[in-house]
Structure 1
């Protein structure tokens, strides 16, 4: 292992990995020591193992908070969705897994397909600064985005304000649809949230190592094994090669 790679990714001698707790598919619980458990923590642990250093997980409630801390020496790697806005401050790998994002609508909704949602007068509830919110912010032209702080809050906003659609990750919406009689999830996806590993800008050796690691993890079956291990088969998909 090149000392430059270790210097880039673990300058304190410990790998500090920013973990997004709001993604329940990637962080499925906690281990016996009370630390986050799931595909994302296990990927961070494997990076630390290959670097030959200890892992310290830095917990964040939302991915936006992780992005805000880029450049603040709070973390060394970040396991969050790769989005152009975040890439201004973070060097990302290709995705190691993907999650479909779509809409939930109420029983009396006339919306039948995703392409019908972006119309004047349509109001969409969304979790602020999630990866799919960033995508919607770039791509929605006619509909109005109504933001809430977090996944549960966006659902409550959708219900309480009688909004037209709730944007979210399909696995989470599959849970929410059970709460509302007659509610439907629109077929297809408006985007796929790509989960990646990032590091601060100007750490070229570290960024190259992470890119190579992610490609190997996909090709070797490691990502698929972690998806099966943590019981999220069918809800998380291994991303294609870069």
Structure 2
């Protein structure tokens, strides 16, 4: 992938390449408990893209997807890592996805909710991370159930427990990990959606920049970089997206 100076300039209006990193999705990014430094698949990709452009990288870190999206939409960051969604697509040019992530429902062990079909009922309250892909998707899809929004995706299960809600929705691995720490919870047996996780840049940066970012993603998938990053960080349950 050859990048001319105009594309590099489009990505670095401040002189640095600013990557928006969302810690609300533990499959893609976390913070080291010792150093506090962010790490994960999205951080690895951000560093690889900065190396491709031969520019200095600055990580702009957020605790929720909505904040990360807003930073790129408002051009406080030059690119980021997001679940593809049409609402976000109004201001962000997405690449093809690089990772596919499953979304699941969590309920109490004694809940009458046994399948996904049981969720969309007027008496159910479904908690999601505010502004997450699950929030955006379920806001469109659920017709009867009430949506309750936790501040961040990692706080969904705690909100579910504290407020005695009926259903929690989110990343399968996050829900599984939280369920192991809290007795009496279970995941439903089937996913309700598949998240297409992509990179994105402000649409204002132009089609050439968007095309270069998409080409980078395809290169990272084809070379095995994404698969290696998932393995290196011990991520199970997420898969490399097929070539676009």
> Structure 1-normalised TM-score?
0.93
List gaps (5 residues or longer) in structure 2: none
Instruction: Identify if the C-alpha distance between structure 1 residues 121 and 146 changes in structure 2 by more than 3 Å, giving closer, same or farther.
Output: same
CA distance in 2, matches of 1:211, 1:31: 32
1:3 Cα offset (Å): 1.1
Q: Within 5 Å, which residues of 2 pair with 1:63-212?
A: 63-202=65-204, 203-212=206-215
With the length of structure 2 as denominator, give the TM-score of the two structures.
Answer: 0.93
Offset, 1:44: 0.6
Q: Distance in 2 between matches of 1:199 and 1:55?
A: 15
Q: Within 2, Cα distance between the matches of 1:42 and 1:31? A: 18
Deviation at 1:29, TM superposition (A): 3.2
| Aligned residue number for residue 240 of structure 2 | 238
What per-residue deviation string (whole Å, max 9, x for no partner) do you get for residues 175-227 of structure 1?
A: 12223333210012111122211101132111000111111211221100111
Structure 2 CA distance for aligned equivalents of residues 2 and 32 of structure 1 = 39
Deviations 1:45-68 (A, max 9, x none): 111111111111111121101222
- Does 1:214 pair with 2:196? no
Structure 1 stretch displaced more, 159-168 or 100-109? 159-168
The alignment covers a number of residue pairs equal to 241
Q: CA–CA distance in 2 between the matches of 1:142 and 1:194?
A: 26
Q: Distance in 1 between matches of 2:106 and 2:33?
A: 32
- Asked if structure 2 preserves the Cα contact closer than 8 Å seen for 1:106 and 1:180, the reply is no
Per-residue Cα deviation, 1:51-99 (whole angstroms, up to 9, x for no partner) = 1111111111211012223343311111122211111110010111121
Tell me whether 61-70 or 27-36 shows the greater mean CA deviation. Answer: 27-36
Aligned pair partner of 2:7 in 5, 8, 12: 5
Q: Is the 8 A contact 2:25 2:171 kept in 1?
A: no
* Contact in 1 for aligned 2:25/2:154 (Cα 8 Å): no
Asked if structure 1 preserves the Cα contact closer than 8 Å seen for 2:25 and 2:153, the reply is: no
